[in-house]
A and B are shown apart, each in its own frame.
Chain A
Amino acid sequence: GQSLEQPSEVTAVEGAIVQINCTYQTSGFYGLSWYQQHDGGAPTFLSYNALDGLEETGRFSSFLSRSDSYGYLLLQELQMKDSASYFCAVRSGNTPLVFGKGTRLSVIA
């Protein structure tokens, strides 16, 4: 089986930095993915970590520690348009992708 835990809600101020954590349990680990989904929109792929360490893509970074079964998504210089739900996801067994319950990020002025 598998489980992913992430906070249900996070609020942060425009221009600030926010970190969204994700812990996982899965039988066989192939990597941790992050997706963004705006209300009424489709999930959009943000990042993928298969190895320990930090991956940076513009304002977004993603970190993985396989020994701790833990990762996080870091969003810098927050903008109002970053208000969305963020899902961590892993492969589990024969299921290509299982999503966490999602973290709803609200960016306030």
Chain B
Amino acid sequence: DAMVIQNPRYQVTQFGKPVTLSCSQTLNHNVMYWYQQKSSQAPKLLFHYYDKDFNNEADTPDNFQSRRPNTSFCFLDIRSPGLGDAAMYLCATSRESTNQPQHFGDGTRLSIL
């Protein structure tokens, strides 16, 4: 019973070629998050949506954008991937944004050629 589903599990793109990662949820949660996690590091929040309200972290590069067309889906767009953007990208959801456990998808591992 996958509740937060990320596709694809592995994504390879070329330097500078736009790429989109997708996330869907069956939990009907209000909040959806995108994290970047590099090897042996902690997940780092890029941005999150509370319903349709978009909240960008101050240090998230402009190269990263997000869309949430409806409650169930959220997308991460990387406009011009650089070698430093190779990482695991994790999507998570929660009912509210404070004091609620976050439910993570299995992630998409992005490689840049």
Contacts and interface: CB of A to CB of B under 8 A. Distances in A.
Physical interaction between A and B: yes
Interface in B36-51: 40-45, 48
The interface centre, meaning the residue of A30, A33, A96, A101 with most chain B CB atoms within 10 A of its CB, is A96
Contacts of A87: 42-43
Contacts of B102: 43, 45, 96-97
A94 B105 contact: no
Contact of A43 (B40, B41, B90): B90
A100 B42 contact: yes
Contacts of A45: 101-103
B99 interface: yes
B76 interface: no
A87 B37 CA distance: 13
Nearest to B44: A99
B104 interface: yes
A42 B106 contact: yes
Give the interface size bracket for B toward A: 20 to 34
Nearest to A31: B99
Contact of B99 (A41, A44, A48, A100): A48
A71 interface: no
Given A96-B33, A96-B48, A101-B41, A50 B99 contact: yes
A9 to B, nearest CB: 11
Interface in A23-53: 30-31, 33, 41-45, 48, 50
Given A97-B45, A98-B45, A42 B107 contact: yes
The interface centre, meaning the residue of B41, B42, B92, B94 with most chain A CB atoms within 10 A of its CB, is B42
Interface in B71-112: 90, 92, 94, 97-99, 101-107
Interface of B: 31, 33, 40-45, 48, 55, 57, 90, 92, 94, 97-99, 101-107
Given A42-B106, A43-B92, A50-B99, 14 more contacts: A30-B99, A33-B101, A45-B102, A48-B99, A87-B42, A94-B55, A96-B45, A96-B48, A96-B98, A96-B102, A97-B33, A99-B44, A102-B40, A102-B41
